Amino acid sequence: MKRITIEDVAKRAGVSKGTVSAVMNARNTVKPETRDHVLEVMKELHFRPQGIARNLRSGDKDKSIGIIIKDVNYPFYTAIATGVRDYANSKGYSLLITSSENNHQSEKRFSQLFAAKDIKGAIIAPLVEGTAEIEHLFKLKMINYPFVLLEDVRGIQANVVTIDNSNAIKKAVKYLMDCGHSRIVHFAGPPSSSHTQERIEGFRHAFSESTLAFNEDMIVSIGSRHEESYGNTLNYFRNRPRNEYPTAIVCFNDQQALAILTALKELNIRVPDDISIIGNDDISYARIYPVPLTTIRAPQREIGQRAAELLIRNIESSKLLPVERVVLETELIARESTRDILH
C-alpha cells in the first residue's frame, strides 16, 4: 500500500504543503476553517506524519515514545512511568518522560511537540479539571497520531488503560461497613474527572447493596491537590459539631489522604480512634504516613506496561486498529488508619 504523504494531503485539500505542515505543527497562521478542512482530509486518507509512519526497522536506533504525567512528585505517576519504560525498552523504544504539572497549556504543548518531533506515540494522563480543553486531543485523533489515555475524557474515543474505580471504592466502603461504620463520607476529587465520577458511583453502589441509607451530604468535594484538600478538610470539620462527624472517610487518592491526615492532626482528631481513613492508589510511601494508610492498591506498574503495550501495537500496525479500553482490578490493603468499631 502506497504511503500517504504531505503532498497527497495538500493535493486533496487544495492547499500548499506549507499549509499542511502548519496544521500539523499547530501554528496559528492557518485560518480555523482551513485547519479543520485539512485535518478532515488527513483523517479521510488515514495520514500519519512521516516520522510516525516510517517503517520501524529492527536496526532503527531512534525509536521513542513519550508520556505526559500530571505531577512528577506523585509516586503514582512515576510508578506508571516505570512500567511504561520497562515495556518500551523491551521492545527497543526509548521513553521521554514529561510532566504537565497540572497545567493544561503544558499538556497541550507537550502533545504537539511529540507529534511534530518524531516521537512515535504518547501516553497521556489528561488534565480534566476546571476549564481544561481537549482540542489538542482531537487534533491528535485527526492526524491519526497514536496515543493512550490513562483516564476517559468525555467526547474523545481513544485507547484507555485505567482501573475499575467504581469497584475500588465499593471495596473500601464495604470494608468499613464490615468494621461497623455507618457514618461514612467520601471526600471526592476534581468534579470534571471521570475517575471522580466513577468513584462517587462506587460509593453510591456500596450503600445501595447494604441496609444503610445514602444521602448527598456523604459526598464532599475537596479536590486532590494538597493545599486545596487540606484547607477544605479544615473547613468541613470546623463547620459542624463533633457529634456530626463521620466515623470514616474514603478518600479520592493517597495524596488527598495525606492532606486530610495533616488537617485532622491540627484539629486534634485522632486517626483511627476518632475517624478511620482509607486512601486510593497505595503509593510507595503510604505505609510510612504519620498513620500507615489503609488504601486501595492500584497495579501502577502494570498500568504503565499495558499502556505501553497498547501504544506500541498501534504504532507498529500498518492499519488503524479498533479503540481499546483496558480496565484493571484493585486490592484493598489494610493498615493502621482504620479500626473495627464493632467490638
Residue type, 288: I
Q: Do strands 159-163 and 94-99 pair parallel, antiparallel, or not at all (unpaired)?
A: unpaired
Tens digit of pLDDT for each residue in 77-99?
A: 999 999 999 999 999 999 999 99
Q: At what angle do helices 32-45 and 6-13 cross, to 10 degrees?
A: 120
Cα(177)–Cα(131) distance, integer angstroms: 37
Q: What is the pLDDT of residue 54?
A: 44
Q: What is the pLDDT of residue 184?
A: 98
> With b meaning 16 or more CB within 10 Å and e meaning fewer, what string describes 153-191?
beebebbbbbbbbbbbbbbbbbbbbebebeebbbbbbbe
Quickly state the pLDDT bin for 318 (edges 50, 70, 90). confident
pLDDT at 343: 66
Q: Looking at residues 175-194, what average pLDDT do you find?
A: 94
pLDDT digits (tens, 9 = 90+) for 247-274: 999 999 999 999 999 999 999 999 999 9
Strand partners, 225: none
For residue range 214-233, list pLDDT tens digits in order: 999 999 999 988 899 999 99
pLDDT band at 58 (very low <50, low <70, confident <90, very high): very low
Which domains are present in the chain?
Answer: 1-47 (1.10.260.40), 57-163+301-328 (3.40.50.2300), 165-299 (3.40.50.2300)
Higher pLDDT, 34 or 205: 205
> What does the pLDDT look like over 233-250, one tens digit per residue?
999 999 999 999 999 999
**Mean predicted lDDT score pLDDT of the chain:** 90
Query: 23-56 pLDDT, tens per residue?
Result: 877 677 888 888 888 888 887 887 876 544 444 4
Residue 118 has pLDDT above 90, yes or no: no
Q: What's the pLDDT score for residue 222?
A: 96
Residue of 270 and 9 predicted with greater confidence: 270
User: What pLDDT score does 53 carry?
Assistant: 43
**137 or 134: which leads in pLDDT:** 137
pLDDT tens digits, 286-313? 999 999 999 999 999 999 999 999 999 9
Indicate if the pLDDT at residue 116 is higher than 80. Answer: no
Q: Does the pLDDT at position 22 exceed 70? A: yes
Say what the pLDDT of residue 26 is. 64
For the cut 50, the answer to whether the pLDDT of residue 59 exceeds it is no
The packing angle between helices 300-316 and 75-90, to 10°, is: 40
Q: What is the model's pTM?
A: 0.82
